[in-house]
Amino acid sequence: MTTSAPPFAGLPSTHLPGRLAALAALVQIGRDRSGPGGFSPELLAEAETLLERADERLKLSAAHTVVTLAGGTGSGKSSLFNALAGATFSPSAVTRPATRFAHACVWGMQGAAPLLDWLGIERRYRYARASALDAGEAALDGLLLLDLPDHDSVAAGAATEVDRLISQADLMIWVLDPQKYADAAVHNRFLAPLARHANVTTVALNQCDLLTPQQAKDCEEDLRRLLDSEGHGEARVLLLSAATGAGLDNLRQLLAGAVSARRTTTDRIAADIDSIIAKFAVYATDPAAVARRAAGVSHDGSGGLTAPPAAFAPASLSGTAGAAGKAGAPEARPPWMRATEPGHPDAVDDDLALPEPVRPRPPWEVEPDAALAIAAQSLQTRSAIESVPAGAALNLADAFARAAGLAAVTDALEDVREIHAARYLSWPFGRLAGWFPGRDPVRLGRVSGDARIALSAGADAQQSEIDSAVTAFADAIGETLPDPWPRTVRAAARSRVPAVGGALSTAVTESIPAGARIPTWWRLVCAWQWLLAAMVIAGAGWMGVIVAVGAFHAMGPHPPELIGSVALLPWLAAIVVAMLLLGRLTASGSQNAHLLSSDAERDLLAAAMRARIDAVARDLVVLPAGTELTEYAAYCTALTAAG
């Protein structure tokens, strides 16, 4: 990771600001997911302490390098401290701890006081070393050398003081002696846990004047082997004697190089980050691949993610949604935050309006800041939805459709449509056949259809089916993630489950047409059929009158021609039969035409209901779960950046 941020004052160009910002992001994400089964509270506390310590150290003098001399009783670290300082500042002893409090010697005192206060060095143990006293020490200007209490001291608080100052040091020098250089107390407690700090660690094997050259070489090789086995392959090993001055020039040269480079401070903080990042890595699986996906690059390098179905595109947001946002960053930001770009906008608000999206306001009606917030919110919403595998989202929507009774509702609505079609398109005389026992009367079919609509649309969707569908969805998208992410993804997916049943019922109910839509051609066919029926009735009545007049001579011996002529009966019978056939053919043809259009109408109605059900699944389950997946992707991205 590179950064365009300016370097800290007095420090070389570094990636440290971006790494610290990424670590802060890891802490923020982890803090929201800590506790049993989640991120370790101890790890988060350790990371927060590191961030605070780095913040405080970077605010202080960058012109000084803090170097600690640490060791056990009798190792000669105080003697080495006095030899480097050129004066007896720190008391020394061979068999008992003599240094109860940390002593400091500063080459170039200007600007060092705040740093010494931060280190907690008492004023009576602060010493200034003027480089003018020795022209050869001009290169050490900026060195702040600490003589620590013995790490194995029995004095109260000595061990705690050693731990604190070691954590605050820029460069650590461990002073060991030939008798105890393999002491488990120093290796197990300090050197092994600080394996990632090898580039800011030096091991000085003191009292070499007591050894023969071959013995000194054997001790050095054995010490090197121990350090390599503990991960300190880059740590330097120096052979020296504080008593005779042998090897002190090499140590002064090392210190002068560290002071002049002014990288030790940032190298120490970087090593601290390396050490703690390894502990955060257990909460991610292949963070580089996840970060690559989050950036829109597929594993084969082709780029892009699989687009979700159109039904799962983010709903339009109103012009006022999310406009408030959070306030700007605090004024008193740490230096590593001042050196980085501002953070991302706020997270997506889960409380989206259902079921209808609100018309977005045009750009000229929206304030610039609000418009940016809306755009960022819409982008984050889309990112969250796209982070969910399309197959899992579709399976969830299918399950919700089954829980809402989508098929039963569309069948019931189709039955009602058939009833209305029968009222307008069926041959009126054909309806009489349904009134006989054993037939399927249209009036009973209408009652049955209405009852099915009331049952399907009015009742809440089955909660057990919803719960099972959401659980299966959460398991499908989170089962491959490391702990605690499967649990957090499941919790996010179920966060709004209580509202799903009512939302599904509302989605189905509002999709049902308020009233029956009667096409114009239905009315024309109905009028035509009643006209034909009237003609049949008129023809049959005419025939009946002719038969009555002829049989009973009701009109006398000479009735009118139109009602008394028996010769008209065949013609009238032919007309009645023709009208009956024409009516039957009209009913059959119009029913066939209705069947051709009813499938398309059913599909449109089912699509409208399914779109609303998809919106419920998207807004109440997919979006919260997707937001958690984007948090996981952000975590992996931050982990990669911090590392």
> What is the CB neighbour count within 10 angstroms for residue 310?
8
Q: Is 63-261 CATH 3.30.420.40?
A: no
What mean pLDDT comes out for the span 331-357? 38
Q: Which helix (H) or strand (E) holds 105?
A: strand 103-107
pLDDT digits (tens, 9 = 90+) for 439-490: 444 443 444 444 444 444 444 457 888 888 999 999 988 888 888 999 999 9
pLDDT at position 318 is 35
Sequence-distant (6+) residues with CB within 8 A of 165 are 68, 102, 119, 120, 146, 148
Q: Using alpha carbons only, what angle is made at residue 538 by residues 532 and 542, rounded to the nearest 5 degrees? A: 145
SS3 420: helix
pLDDT, greater one: 48 or 151? 48
pLDDT, greater one: 102 or 600? 102
Q: What Å distances lie between residue 304 and 17, 386, 459, CA to CA?
A: 29, 11, 42
pLDDT at position 104 is 92
pLDDT, greater one: 191 or 561? 191
Return the minimum-mean-pLDDT range out of 120-124, 249-253, 424-428.
424-428
In whole angstroms, give the CA distance from residue 483 to residue 282: 8
pLDDT, greater one: 141 or 576? 141
Candidates 65, 164, 68; CA nearest to 112 is 65
pLDDT at position 604 is 80
Query: Is the CB of residue 445 less than 8 Å from the CB of residue 431?
Result: no
pLDDT digits (tens, 9 = 90+) for 249-300: 999 999 999 998 888 888 999 999 999 998 998 898 765 555 555 444 433 3
Q: What Å distances lie between residue 388 and 106, 308, 391, 424, 473, CA to CA?
A: 58, 8, 9, 49, 10
* Residue bearing tokens 């990424």: 22
pLDDT, greater one: 348 or 96? 96
Calculate what percentage of the chain has a pLDDT beyond 90.
21
pLDDT digits (tens, 9 = 90+) for 59-103: 998 889 999 999 888 888 888 998 988 888 877 655 455 567 899
Instruction: Tell the burial category of 111 from Cβ atoms under 10 Å away from its Cβ (0-12, 13-18, 19+).
Output: middle
| DSSP assignments along 106-158, one per residue | EES-TT-HHHHHHHT--GGGEEEE-GGG-GGGGGGTTEEEEEPPPTT--STTH
Q: What average pLDDT is seen over the chain?
A: 75
Q: What Å distances lie between residue 361 and 312, 347, 348, 376, 379, CA to CA?
A: 22, 21, 19, 15, 17
pLDDT band at 585 (very low <50, low <70, confident <90, very high): confident
pLDDT at position 341 is 39
pLDDT digits (tens, 9 = 90+) for 510-554: 777 665 677 777 788 888 888 888 888 888 887 877 777 666 665
pLDDT at position 573 is 83
pLDDT at position 379 is 77
pLDDT at position 432 is 61
Return the minimum-mean-pLDDT range out of 237-241, 322-326, 367-371.
322-326
* Residue bearing tokens 């969805």: 473
Instruction: Tell the burial category of 620 from Cβ atoms under 10 Å away from its Cβ (0-12, 13-18, 19+).
Output: buried
pLDDT at position 261 is 83
pLDDT, greater one: 427 or 473? 473
pLDDT at position 47 is 94
pLDDT at position 86 is 83
- Reading the block at residue 589, the tokens are 């043809």
* Residue 339 predicted with pLDDT over 50: no
pLDDT digits (tens, 9 = 90+) for 145-165: 999 988 877 666 778 889 999
What mean pLDDT comes out for the span 197-212? 90
Candidates 88, 70, 68, 71; CA nearest to 79 is 88
pLDDT, greater one: 537 or 436? 537
pLDDT band at 593 (very low <50, low <70, confident <90, very high): confident
Would you kindly state where each structural domain of the chain is located, as residue ranges? 1-59+267-283, 63-261, 383-643
What mean pLDDT comes out for the span 391-416? 81
pLDDT at position 155 is 67
pLDDT at position 352 is 32
pLDDT at position 134 is 55
Instruction: Tell the burial category of 106 from Cβ atoms under 10 Å away from its Cβ (0-12, 13-18, 19+).
Output: buried
